[in-house]
């Protein structure tokens, strides 16, 4: 019964939010109003920015079945993409970014080598935002190696899983209740500028697909007996749907410098498929997920720069194994706004039903 009640809790706010956002979307963008003393929107400005990012992936396992006096139960697999560089392009409601690794990981660090691929696409105005991205990491090292490998102190060599792969597709929707005074994109985007401090509640949800796979057991042979039925775990695929609730705030100094942050959390329905090599196990769980982000920077009429840190996390706990996955991003960006005006072909697009629904 509790499971069904939680399912209703997850789904009901989604329909409420969807109805509210649909009603707002039927209004033309030309009739939307906001407090111009609070923030400024850059209409018909083509924005080009450059960024450098650290995109890391962290998968932490801990068995909770057997007593462990030696501290062998926690295994933290980390993929460090190191420094990635790329470009952002933004116009009106649309933003796209492309990036690639610019600083390869040093083999001498004892952490092996991680291959990565990232792509993102965002859409929305200041009432809502729909963020989408896909991340792939291949090659992890076990940060908990010193707990079970006595030679680590002399070799500084981590336990490596070069074929361990994590994939995450994320589609996240956030609706801001105080969009008349608060600009989410001023702190985490580039086409708005918050002039005075403000805050908002966040209502939203996400759909994401997480995949973890390996060519053999994820856990070192020495510690597998502690994990019982999970000893031969080779992978996990989970399809997830969640509702998230939270708040955001931006503090502005002299209409230029700012500090911005937000945090969301909520229940998540997960449909999991465990791969044990010789068989699979399908389970349905209700767990929790969320995201947290903080940024600071300088936002002027044409020039902007910001630094930010964010973490998207999912909990995949079960009766015998606790498992937390986190996609972590550190970002520094700067750019320039070009006042291009509104092209005629784009004016035609704005008159379409598709645009008015966005």
pLDDT digits (tens, 9 = 90+) for 295-326: 999 999 899 999 999 988 888 988 889 999 98
Query: Residue 18: pLDDT above 50?
Result: no
Is residue 222 predicted with pLDDT exceeding 80? yes
The whole domain housing 57 covers: 2-357
Q: Say whether pLDDT at 76 is over 50.
A: yes
What's the average model confidence in pLDDT over 13-17? Answer: 41
Task: Report whether pLDDT(268) > 90.
Answer: yes
Rama region for 277: left / alpha / beta (φ>0; ψ in -120 to 50; rest):
left
Summarised one tens digit per residue, pLDDT across range 345-357 is 888 888 888 887 7
Position 104 scores a pLDDT of 55
Q: What pLDDT, on the 0 to 100 scale, is given for residue 132?
A: 92
- Average pLDDT, integer, range 253-272: 94
Are 209 and 51 in contact by the 8 Å Cβ rule? The answer is no
Contacts of 41 (CB under 8 A, 6+ apart): 34, 126, 183, 191, 192, 193
pLDDT at residue 9, rounded to an integer = 40
Residue 24 confidence (pLDDT): 40
Residue 106: the pLDDT is: 56
Mean pLDDT of all residues in 244-250: 95
Is the per-residue pLDDT at 13 higher than 50?
Answer: no
pLDDT for 269 beyond 60: yes
Q: Express as a percent the part of the chain with pLDDT over 90.
A: 45
What is the enclosing helix (H) or strand (E) of 337? Answer: strand 321-339
Per-residue pLDDT for 20 more than 70?
no
Average pLDDT over residues 116-136: 86
Q: Residue 193 and residue 340: Cα distance in Å, rounded?
A: 18
pLDDT-based confidence at 1, cuts 50/70/90? very low
Quote the pLDDT of residue 16.
39
CATH of the domain at 90: 2.40.128
Dig out the tokens for 300 from the structure: 């002027």
Q: What is the pTM of this model?
A: 0.76
pLDDT at 12 over 50: no
In the chain, the number of structural domains is 1
Measuring CA to CA, how many Å separate 250 from each of 9, 33, 64, 113? Answer: 30, 20, 40, 38
Residue 194 has pLDDT above 90, yes or no: yes
Residue 5 confidence (pLDDT) above 50: no
Q: Exposed, middle or buried, 118 (CB in 10 Å: 0-12/13-18/19+)?
A: buried
Closest CA to 94 of 175, 18, 190: 190
Q: What are the tens digits of pLDDT across the range 44-63?
A: 888 899 988 888 889 999 99
Is the pLDDT at 14 greater than 50? The verdict is no
Say which residue the tokens 């291009």 belong to.
340
Q: What average pLDDT does the structure give for the chain?
A: 84
Buried b (16+ CB within 10 A) or exposed e, 267-286: bbbbebebbeeeeeeeeebb
Polymer length in residues for the chain: 358
d(CA 210, CA 175): 24
Q: What is the pLDDT of residue 256?
A: 92
* Distance of alpha carbon 95 from alpha carbon 184, whole angstroms: 14
pLDDT digits (tens, 9 = 90+) for 140-189: 999 999 989 989 988 889 999 999 999 999 999 999 999 999 999 888 87
Place of tokens 């929107």: 41
């Amino acid at each position: 019964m509790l499971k069904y009640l939680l399912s209703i809790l997850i789904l009901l706010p989604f329909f409420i939010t969807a109805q509210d956002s649909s009603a707002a979307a039927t209004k033309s963008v030309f009739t939307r109003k906001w407090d111009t003393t609070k923030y400024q929107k850059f209409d018909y400005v083509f924005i080009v920015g450059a960024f450098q990012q650290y995109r890391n992936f962290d998968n932490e396992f801990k068995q909770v079945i057997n007593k462990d006096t030696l501290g062998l139960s926690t295994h933290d697999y980390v993929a460090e993409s190191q420094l990635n560089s790329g470009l952002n392009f933004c116009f009106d409601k649309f933003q796209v970014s492309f990036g690639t690794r610019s600083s390869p990981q040093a083999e001498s660090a004892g952490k092996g080598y991680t291959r990565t691929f990232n792509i993102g696409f965002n859409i929305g105005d200041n009432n809502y935002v729909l963020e989408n991205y896909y991340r792939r990491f291949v090659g992890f090292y076990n940060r908990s190696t010193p707990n079970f490998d006595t030679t680590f102190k002399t070799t500084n060599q981590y336990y490596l899983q070069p074929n361990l792969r994590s994939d995450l597709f994320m589609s996240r929707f956030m609706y801001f209740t105080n969009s008349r005074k608060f600009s989410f994109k001023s702190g985490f985007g580039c086409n708005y500028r918050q002039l005075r401090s403000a805050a908002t509640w966040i209502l939203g949800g996400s759909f994401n697909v997480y995949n973890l796979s390996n060519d053999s057991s994820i856990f070192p042979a020495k510690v597998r007996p502690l994990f019982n039925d999970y000893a031969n775990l080779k992978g996990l695929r989970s399809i997830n749907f969640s509702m998230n609730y939270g708040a955001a705030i931006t503090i502005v100094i002299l209409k230029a410098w700012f500090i911005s942050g937000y945090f969301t959390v909520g229940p998540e329905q997960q449909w999991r498929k465990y791969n044990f090599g010789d068989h699979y196990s399908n389970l349905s769980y209700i767990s929790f997920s969320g995201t947290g982000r903080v940024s600071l920077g300088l936002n002027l009429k044409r020039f902007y720069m910001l630094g930010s840190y964010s973490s998207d996390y999912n909990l995949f706990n079960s009766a015998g194994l606790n498992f937390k996955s986190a996609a972590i991003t550190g970002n520094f960006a700067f750019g320039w706004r070009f006042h291009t005006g509104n092209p005629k072909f784009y004016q035609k697009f704005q008159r379409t039903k598709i645009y008015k629904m966005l």
